[in-house]
Amino acid sequence: MPLVARVVVENAAQSFDKIYSYRVPEGMPVRPGCRVTAPFGAGNRTRFGLAVAVEEEPDAAGLKPLATLVDPEPLLSDKLLSLVFWLRDNTFCTYFDAVKALLPPGIGVELEYTYELSKDAPAPEDPEERRVFDYLAGRGKPVREEALLAALGFERDAPVLRELCARGTLQKAQEVRRRVLDGKLVMVRLDGEIGELSDVRVKLTPKQKAVVELLLQVGEASLKEICYFAAVGKSVVDRLVSAGAARLFTREIYRSPYAEGPAREDAAAIVLTEEQNAAFERLCGLADSREARTALLYGVTGSGKTEVFLRTIRHVLDGGRGVIMMVPEISLTPQMIDRFRRYFGGRVAVLHSGLSMTERLDEWKRIKNGGASIVVGTRSAVFAPMENIGLIVIDEEQEGTYKSEMSPRYHARDVARFRAAQEGALLLLASATPSVESFHRAREGRYELLTLKNRYGAARLPDVAILDMAAQPLGAQSASLSEQLIAELQRNLDAGEQSILLLNRRGYNTLVKCAVCSTVATCPNCSVALTYHSANGHLMCHYCGYTARPDESCPTCGNKFRRFSGAGTQKVEQELCELFPDARVLRMDMDTTMARFSHEKHFSDILAGKYDIIIGTQMVAKGLDFPNVTLVGVLSADSALYAQDYRSFERAFSLFTQVVGRSGRAEKAGRAYIQTFTPENPVIALAAAQDYDGFYAEEIDSRRIHLYPPFCDMVGIGFSGLEYARTKEAARQFLAEFARRAKADYAGLPLRVLGPCESQIVKLAGKYRFRMAVKCRYDKRTRALLRGTADWYFSQPALRGVTLTVDPKYESSI
C-alpha cells in the first residue's frame, strides 16, 4: 500500500500553517522526525519540511511526491515531535518555528541547483540559447545555478533556461547542502587479514614497518597520531594504503570548546549539613518514584543549593538516567561548567548561544547519540535531545531570561514541566528569591517545598545599609558614588579584599539634551533616548543599534551644544579610576563581554585576584561565588523599582537580594550598601534584610487584590506595523472580533481585557506597536477562542500589513 508523509513546511505564514500530505516515492526511507524537501504551492517551488508522521493510504495517487530525503535518520524522536505540537498549541507559533527551536542552528541545510548539458544534446540556433550551450559545453560538468546566472547575466528562472530544460537540452538537478559540515577525523587501520607482521605480503621499508607495528599494537589510530608516533610522513601511510596493507576511513568527531577529561572529584564525597542532607534525601526519594513531580529548593544566598544539586545529580546518574541543568545567563555558565566537569568529567555537554555553530551542532549530536548524560546550558538547553531524563534543574528559576521573547514565546519552566511529565522525571526549581507563582504553588502543596535557612559553612549573611542619595552634599566627590561607599571601597582596597558594584545601565551618559532648547537626542527608528558611549565616542540606541555623532545639530533648533547627564557603567568606571588610581578596575557589561569566552576570562581573573573593584550590570549580580568579595554596592536602585509591569517589585527585590548575596560567601564577613533616592520603599528594606518571606506576604496580597498571576493567567496580544493609524485600527478590530466571539461562543469564560493601547516603547526598529492583555484562565477553551480570533485576523486582507503576536506569558501591567 502506498505511503503518505504528513509534512510541516518552513516559511509558512500563520494563515496557511498546517500539516500537508505528500506521497512517499518508492524506496525513500522517510520516517517521522526526518527533514525532507517537497514541491509547495501553485508554482511547486521546493521547500524544506519535516515529516511528523508516515502512514499507509490507499488513495495517494493524486498527491505530490516528496522531492528528496535530507536526513537518513530522524532528527527528532517521537517525544520531541509531541513537543513540537505542544509548542504550537500553547505558544501560537508555526509548526516550523517550533521545529527550529528544537534543532541547533548549525544543522541547517540549503537547496542548491545545478545545470548540465544532456548527453548528445544538439546545439541550439537561437543566439541566447547558444550562449548557455557553449558555456556549459566548455565546463564539461554540472555548474551551480549562481555561477551560471552570474557568468551570463541572467535572472533566476530566466525564460531561456526554462525553455532549454523543457526541450531536454539542459538537465536541472537539485542538491541539499549542509551549512555546517560534520567534523571528520581521518583514521588508519591494517587490512583485516593482517594479524601479525608476517601477514604483510609486500616488502616493507623501515618506516612502513614502524607504522605496521604501531597499528598491530593499537588497532587503529588517527592519521595525525600515526605520523607523530611512528615519526613518518603522510606519504608512508599512503604507500601502505596503495599496497593494500592499510585502509583509511573517517570517524566523526565532536568539536567542543571545553577540554574533555575524567572527573577529578567524586560528587558523592561532598559533605552536606544536616539541613542540606534532609533536602538531598527527599529529592532522591522524589526522583526514584519515577513520577513527574516538581520541587522548589528555596534557600538563602550562599546556603549551598549547588551542593545539593550535585549530590542529587550523582544519585540520578547512578540510576542510569540523564540530567538537564539550566542556568539563566551565559555569564553564569563558566563557574557551573567548571564545577560539573570537575565532578562528572566528559559526561557533561554544554548548550548556549556563546558557542560557535559547529560547537553547538556537535554538542547537540553528542547528546542525541548518548555521548553525554548531563546537559548544562541556558534557556535552549531545555530542548536537548536527551532520552531517559530523570532530573531537570532550573537554577535561579525566577529569572526573566528563561522566557523567550521570540517565536515560539515559551517559558523554559513550562517546557521543562512538559518534558518531566513525558519522562516521569523530577523538575527541581531553585532560588533564594523564587518567583511569586512558584512559591505560591509550593505553599499550596502543588510543589514539594524544601528550605535551606542557613548559609553553608562558616559564612553568614552580610550586613546591609541603605544610603539616602538625596542627603548627599552638593560638593560630593562623585555623582554616582556616595561618600560612605567611597570610604568603604578604600577600606576594602587597604585590606586587599574585592568589591562588586551593580549598575544596571551600560554606556557613559544615559541622557543627551540640547543645551539651548532641551530637546532629547532620540533614535529615529525607536521612541527611546540615545545613550552616549565614551568607548567609541558615539550616541547609540540599545534597541536597534543606530549610532550618531554627539556633535550633530539639534533637530529642533540647530544648535550643536549638547548637555550630558545620567551615569552608565562606563562613566562609573572612569570615576573609580580617578578616585582610586592604584585600583585595578574591571567593567563587565554587554560591551566588554562580546568577545568569545570573555566571561570565562573575566571570572577566572577575578578569582585569581587580578581585579580589586568590579563594576557591572546584572551579569555580576547572580550565582557567582568569589571568596574574597566582601563589599557589594547597588548604585541607582530606583531605576529597577519603577518599571511599567506588575513584576517590577519582584524583579527589583530579586536583583538586590542576589547581588547583596555575593558578599561574604566564605570566612570573611561581608557588607553591602544600597544607594537610593527612596529609602522608604519597603522593597529595599526587605531586600536589605534578605527577607523573602516578608516580601512574598506583601506581594501576594497585592496580586490578589489587583488580580495578577498566580490568581490569573496573562496573555499578551501585540500588533506591529509601519503606519501608526493602521496598527491602531488593527488592534481595535481584533478586540471587536475577540469580544464578539467570546460573547457568542464562549459565554461564562472568565475574561478581563486591558487595552489596546500604545506599547511602552511605541516605535521600535521603525515599526509602531500596540498591545492588549487578557486576564484569563489559560485553558483549552481560552486557547480555542484566541486561535479562532487569530485565524479570522489572518484571513482579513486589510490587516495583512500589521503583524499579530500572541504571548501566553505576558508580564506587563498595560
Contact between 754 and 695 under an 8 Å Cβ cutoff? The reply is: no
Task: Give pLDDT, residue 513.
Answer: 83
pLDDT at residue number 253:
60
Q: What is the CATH number of the domain that holds 190?
A: 1.10.10
**Domain endpoint, select from 86, 110, 134:** 110
Sheet with 803-807: strands ordered across: 751-764, 767-776, 713-721, 803-807
Give the range among 183-187, 246-250, 652-656, 748-752 with minimum mean pLDDT.
183-187
- pLDDT for 517: 83
The pLDDT tens digits of the residues spanning 546-595 come to 888 877 788 888 787 677 777 888 888 889 999 999 999 999 887 777 66
Q: Which of 12-26, 139-153, 655-669 has the lowest mean pLDDT?
A: 655-669
Distance separating alpha carbons of residues 434 and 696, to the nearest angstrom: 9
Residue 93 annotated as binding?
A: no
The answer to the question of residue 144 being in a domain is: yes
| In a domain? residue 260 | no
pLDDT tier, 669 (very low <50, low <70, confident <90, very high otherwise):
confident
pLDDT score recorded for residue 323: 97
Q: Is 523 annotated as a binding residue?
A: yes
Of residues 601 and 69, which shows the higher confidence score?
A: 69
Please check whether residue 85 lies inside any domain of the structure: yes
Domain count, the chain: 7
Residue that finishes a domain, picked among 253, 284, 306: 253
**589 grid coordinates:** 557589561
Which CATH number does the domain housing residue 787 bear? 3.30.70.360
Neighbours of 369 (CB within 10 A): 11
**Among 10-24, 413-427, 466-480, which is the least confidently predicted range?**
466-480
**Of 390, 264, 375, whose CA–CA distance to 327 is shortest?**
375
Q: Is residue 736 part of a domain?
A: yes
Is residue 657 located within the same domain as residue 722? no
Are 552 and 640 contained in the same domain?
A: no
What's the confidence (pLDDT) of residue 506? 77
Asked whether residue 484 falls in the same domain as residue 441, the answer is: no
Among 523, 546, 566, which residue terminates a domain? Answer: 566
Q: Is the model's pLDDT at 259 over the cut of 60?
A: no
Ligand-binding site membership of 577 (annotated): no
Whether 247 and 143 share a structural domain: no
Helix, strand, or coil (residue 108): coil
Instruction: Name which residue leads in pLDDT, 778 or 567.
Output: 778
Percent of the chain with pLDDT over 90: 41
The confidence score (pLDDT) of residue 229 equals: 73
- Separation of alpha carbons 694 and 433, rounded Å: 12
- Confidence (pLDDT) at 758: 93
637 and 562 in a common domain:
no
Q: Is the pLDDT of residue 343 over 80?
A: yes
CB 373 within 8 A of CB 323: yes
Confidence at residue 178, expressed as pLDDT on a 0 to 100 scale: 59
pLDDT 10s digits, 503-550: 888 777 777 888 788 888 888 899 888 888 877 788 888 888 888 887
Are 595 and 688 in a shared domain?
Answer: yes
Higher-scoring residue by pLDDT: 108, 204 = 204
User: For position 26, which CATH number holds?
Assistant: 3.40.1440.60
**What's the rounded mean pLDDT across residues 656-676?**
80
Does 597 map to a domain? yes
Structural domain harbouring 121: 116-170
Q: Which of 44-48, 382-386, 769-773 is predicted least confidently? A: 44-48
Q: What are phi and psi of 698, to 5 degrees?
A: -75, -40
Q: Say which range, 24-38, 367-381, 500-514, 668-682, has the weakest mean pLDDT.
A: 500-514
Long-range (24+ apart) CB contacts under 8 A made by 489-492 are: 489/576, 489/579, 489/580, 489/583, 489/613, 489/631, 489/633, 490/580, 491/631, 492/612, 492/630, 492/631
Contact (CB, 8 A) for 710 and 437: yes
Tell whether 45 is covered by a domain: yes
Same domain, 769 and 735: yes
Indicate if 140 and 244 belong to the same structural domain. Answer: no
Residues 697 and 730 in one domain: no
For residue 14, pLDDT beyond 90: no
Residue 541 counted as an annotated binding residue: yes
Mean confidence (pLDDT) of the chain: 87
Among 60-74, 161-175, 434-448, 771-785, which stretch is predicted with the lowest mean pLDDT? 161-175
Mean pLDDT, rounded, for 709-736: 96
Does residue 275 surpass a pLDDT of 80? yes
The yes-or-no verdict on residue 771 having pLDDT over 70 is yes
Residue at 192 is within a domain: yes
Are 795 and 747 contained in the same domain?
Answer: yes
**Position 121 confidence tier, pLDDT thresholds 50, 70, 90:** confident
pLDDT at res. 58: 85
Q: pLDDT above 70 covers what percent of the chain?
A: 93
Residue 457 included in any domain? no
288 shares its domain with 421:
yes
Reported confidence tier of residue 215, pLDDT bands at 50, 70, 90: confident
pLDDT band at 163; cut points 50, 70, 90: confident
Q: Do 190 and 84 share a domain, yes or no? A: no
- Residue with the larger pLDDT of the pair 491 and 543: 491
Residue 402 has pLDDT above 60, yes or no: yes
Residue 531 has what pLDDT? 86
pTM: 0.80
**Dihedral angle sign, alpha carbons of residues 162, 164, 166, 168:** negative
Q: Which CATH number does the domain housing residue 428 bear? A: 3.40.50.300
**pLDDT at position 666, please?**
65
Most confident of 267-281, 330-344, 618-632, 730-744: 730-744
Q: Is 554 annotated as a binding residue?
A: yes
